[in-house]
Amino acid sequence: DSPADMYVPSMTTLGEIRVEIPGRKPDDPVMTDEEFQRSTKIYFERCAGCHGVLRKGATGKALTPDVTRANGYEYLRDFITYGSPAGMPNWGTSGDLSEEDVDMMARYVLLEPPAPPEFGMSEMRETWQVHVAPEDRPTEKMNDWDLDNLFSVTLRDSGEIALIDGSTYEIKKVIKTGYAVHISRISASGRYLFVIGRDAKVNMIDLWMESPDTVAEIKIGAEARSVETSKFEGFEDKYAIAGAYWPPQFVIMDGDTLEPLRIKSTRGMTYDEQTYHPEPRVAAILGSHYKPEFLVNVKETGKILMVDYSDIEALKVTEINAERFLHDGGLDSTQRYFLTAANARGKVAVVDTKESKLVAVVETEGQTPHPGRGANIMHPTFGPVWATSHLGDDTVALIGTDPEGHPEHAWKMVQQIYGLGGGSLFVKTHPESEHLYVDATLNPDAEVSGSVAVFKVADLANEEPEFTVLPIVEWAGIAEGQPRVVQGEFNQAGNEIWFSVWNAKDLESAIVVVDDKTLELKHVIKDERLITPTGKFNVYNTRSDVY
Ligand code: DHE
């Protein structure tokens, strides 16, 4: 043999391995290119959040062709039309999708999922814009706004945020952002506000400007949900980080300009079976107060990454095995422990951010825990506890968080209480408050989804504490549509809690302000600019992790 022959691959090595014929299969459903493109868009906007871009399943079931073809076209069409009590929306009967669209989507999910393009450094840099360079920004605060008591409010369907004064309820400014901003986070100094859209666009807003506005922006992928900033002493405002659903990756950026510095893919093995997952999405990210680290929840592989940003040229990542389907979470009252829901597994993982260790995985005994950042309460019997409600039922789990003072209760579910009904998304309290608020946003009953349950902390000493119902939608005085009440957020002083009354895009929405001491209506914010308000983020409470 000549040396060149050595490089000809031997055909016999494929041996017994069976390979799929690439491209269209004989029994593929017929679909035009135009339909395929339109379905992909609908799938991305409506379905991928729960089922995954590659349809491997997470909060929603897997929709890969092996599964969908076994179920068949009629089954899929009816499921998309009518939904299910387990959380699948009724896209057909709600009017969100037409009969033709439902038919098209049922055919679409019978096909192999297309993988959208990757989004690396060159793509990110192409979208990166610095509108006002750091040297051209003010050196002191140039407005008379009370920044610590400002609220950043997501206007979901208009692709904007509203900045609302916490004392006068005046909408100070509406700022154009990415599509459906998911969360707002604030830099450690309180100066910069970061928001991230579902379309993975990050806006960095300088609150010191005479009229606060976007000073830098970037797109970090095709779909995203999380953004955070470095909070550890000595690194205040130095870095920002954003996590993407697609491509599955996170990026560390310069905290002054959003210049992308390091991108890290999260693709890899699941923590338990150690099988490869092509789409482990980045869910919640939290900046540690104990170390120069970001905690990054990787949903599908069930790993919490502790990303040490002290030297980003030699990035050290501690990979903690937790539980699959990590979603959202927050800190305990000492800010040392990160409690985060593995929602489709009914568990809460607890990480010690000081020791960089998993300390427990707690069963919440409810269906799909969904805490937001959770709520820290001084329980009359069990000492400091952290609460989460559930998407799938009416239970609220209280978990002990004080291993020193109350070791017998630490990292155990010490009490289960019952709220208004299933479909809860968020719980909320404040160190100054004697109350725990629980919403029921996605409950199918309009009266339930339009109200909030409030527990008195002192009443938690009873085995089955009663709650007061606040009729938030009724207080808002909105008759049209089925507005849903979502996400309580306290003002800085902790004496008022704000709820969004989230209506359809073309109908009136509102924000209802409740007096925390008397549980009476204090104010209703209505304005034609308040289109589909959802998340609200008080600058001080968000920056300082007060919840
Ligand atoms: Fe959220 C937080 C993902 C639907 C309002 N949401 C989060 C976080 C994640 C997430 C990963 C944690 C971010 C962090 O802390 O860094 N959300 C998802 C989804 O995947 C999901 C289920 C489906 C989707 O397609 O997006 C979803 N979320 C919604 C909504 O429909 C809500 C109610 C309205 C909206 O604006 O889109 C919604 N999510 C919120 C809010 C938070 C949030 C208000 C922040 C809560 C907090 O107090 O920090």
Residues annotated catalytic, as ranges: 47, 50-51, 88, 327, 370
Q: What is the ipTM of this complex?
A: 0.98
Q: So what's the pLDDT on residue 410?
A: 98
Question: Each residue of 32-43: pLDDT tens digit?
Answer: 889 999 999 899
80 CA → ligand 1 middle, Å: 22
Residue 382: alpha-carbon gap to chain centroid: 29
User: What is 355-403 written as a DSSP string?
Assistant: TTEEEEEEE-SSSSB--TT-EEEEETTTEEEEEEEBSSSSEEEEEE--T
C-alpha to C-alpha distances, 204 to 147, 196, 413, 520, nearest whole angstrom: 16, 9, 39, 36
* Protein residue with its CA nearest to atom 20 in ligand 1: 49
Residue nearest atom 12 in ligand 1 by C-alpha distance: 284
Q: What is the full DSSP assignment across 238-303? A: TEEEEEEEETTEEEEEETTT--EEEEEE--EE-TTT--EES---EEEEEE-SSSSEEEEEETTTTE
Q: Give ∠ CA 506-508-514 in degrees, rounded to 5.
A: 145
Say what the alpha-carbon torsion angle 490, 491, 497, 498 is, to the nearest 10 degrees: -100
Mean pLDDT to the nearest integer, 387-398 = 96
Q: How far is the CA of 327 from the centre of ligand 1 (A)?
A: 9
Ligand 1 atom 24 nearest Cα = 49
DSSP one-letter code for 343: G
Helices (H), 20-64: 33-42, 48-51
Does the pLDDT value for residue 5 go beyond 70?
Answer: no
- Give nearest CA residue, ligand 1 atom 38: 182
Task: Name every residue whose Cβ is closer than 8 Å to that of residue 199 and which is 6 or more positions away in sequence.
Answer: 178, 179, 180, 219, 222, 223, 224
Interval 44-67: pLDDT, tens: 888 998 899 999 988 888 999 999
Among the atoms of ligand 1, which is closest to the Cα of residue 282? 11
Sheet hosting strand 357-363, strand order edge to edge: 326-331, 337-342, 347-352, 357-363
What lines the ligand 1 site, CB under 6 Å? 49-50, 59, 154, 156, 180, 182-183, 225-226, 283-285, 327-328, 372-373, 425, 486-487, 534-535
CB contact at 8 A, 153 and 535: yes
Atom of ligand 1 nearest to the CA of 46: 25
User: What distance in angstroms lies between residue 533's CA and the mean position of ligand 1's atoms?
Assistant: 13
Question: What are the two backbone dihedrals, phi and then psi, of residue 100, each rounded to the nearest 5 degrees?
Answer: -65, -40
* Pairing mode, strands 427-428 and 435-439: antiparallel
pLDDT digit string, tens, across residues 510-523:
999 999 999 999 99
Q: Which of 42, 220, 296, 328 to mutate to test the pocket of ligand 1 (most atoms within 8 A of CB)?
A: 328
Pull the structure tokens for residue 522.
Answer: 């204090």
d(CA 121, CA 398): 43
Q: What order do you get walking across the sheet with 181-186 strand by strand?
A: 129-130, 213-219, 201-206, 192-197, 181-186
Euclidean distance between CA atoms 224 and 373, whole angstroms: 18
Atom of ligand 1 nearest to the CA of 181: 36
12 CA distance to ligand 1 centroid (A)?
A: 51
- What letter represents residue 253's amino acid? M
pLDDT digit string, tens, across residues 108-166: 999 989 888 999 999 999 999 999 999 999 999 999 999 999 999 999 999 999 999 99
104 is written with which tokens?
């098209």
**Which two three-digit tokens encode residue 349?**
């993982």
Residue whose C-alpha is closest to residue 454's, from 437, 474, 472, 433: 437
CA 295 vs CA 49, 285, 306, 334: distances in Å: 21, 6, 5, 17
Residues facing residue 538 across a β-bridge? 151
Question: Which of 179, 183, 424 for mutating ligand 1's site (highest number of atoms within 8 Å of CB)?
Answer: 183
Mean pLDDT rounded to a whole number for the chain: 93
442-488 pLDDT tens trace: 998 999 999 999 999 999 999 899 999 999 999 999 989 989 999 99
* Residue 179 pLDDT > 80: yes
Closest listed residue to residue 353, CA positions, set 288, 270, 418, 259: 288
| pLDDT at residue 224, rounded to an integer | 95
- Is 6's pLDDT higher than 70? no
The whole-model pTM stands at: 0.92
Per-residue confidence (pLDDT) for residue 19, from 0 to 100: 59
Ligand 1: distance of its center to the CA of 532 in Å?
14
